[in-house]
Amino acid sequence: MFTGLIEHLGTVSSIKHDEGGCTLVIAKAGPILGDCNTGDSIAVNGACLTVTAFEKEKEDGWFTVWLANETLDRTDLGERKVGDQVNLERAMGAHVRFGGHFVQAHVDTTATILSREPDGDSLRITFQLPEPTPARPSLLPYIIPKGYIAIDGTSLTITGVDDARRTFSVMLITHTQEKITLPQKAIGAKVNIEVDMVGKYVYKSVQAALGGESGEGVKGLIERAVEDILAKKGIK
């Protein structure tokens, strides 16, 4: 479990691809490796990855992670290049304050940066989700104004949503702009998206309660209720 509060920016120092996936080495990561152990989870641009090796001193501290093909397909990490910076967050400790929102670091999809507009000292950024498919349904039911979303692992508040265009916007204050990689990304670049997990559970629970699992939906529930009332009154 993570909070979406980025702790540090690391730098990709090595990329090795093979048929099974990809190995990334993240350097300049020393500040988050003080309590690191092999097998620990670190969110890299919002994707929960397992540390397979690390060194606290060389290259200002580095660690290695393995990305399966599923991860490469689901995230933007397959597009990272040597020298790119990435957002880093260690798994949340039970003894720390919870300052963001519940982030699993299980990326749902990627979105594309559509626009970036200054708003005083802040920055307003708009993103577009891909068209839904049977394998990857729309995430728009879980994206609401003033709701939470994790973008490249950063917990942010949604400022606007346009369902028809499949777009949503966020606002970055100056402090946030200085702590994450998002302001460095160009228009047209991809970002990793994880919608609020609580919203997913609520949506599925309500859908099941309304008969969504059986496919009858609200209409079917009403029809059955009317049939029951008519049967009790002896009306066919």
Active site residues: 2, 41, 48, 50, 68, 106, 157
Q: For 109-154, give the DSSP string.
A: EEEEEEEEEEETTEEEEEEEPPPP-SSS---GGG--TT-EEEETTE
Return the residue matching tokens 């350097």. Answer: 27
Structure tokens at 32: 């988050």
Structure tokens at 212: 């969504």
**Three-state DSSP class for residue 38:** coil
Q: How far apart are the first and last CA of the chain?
A: 55
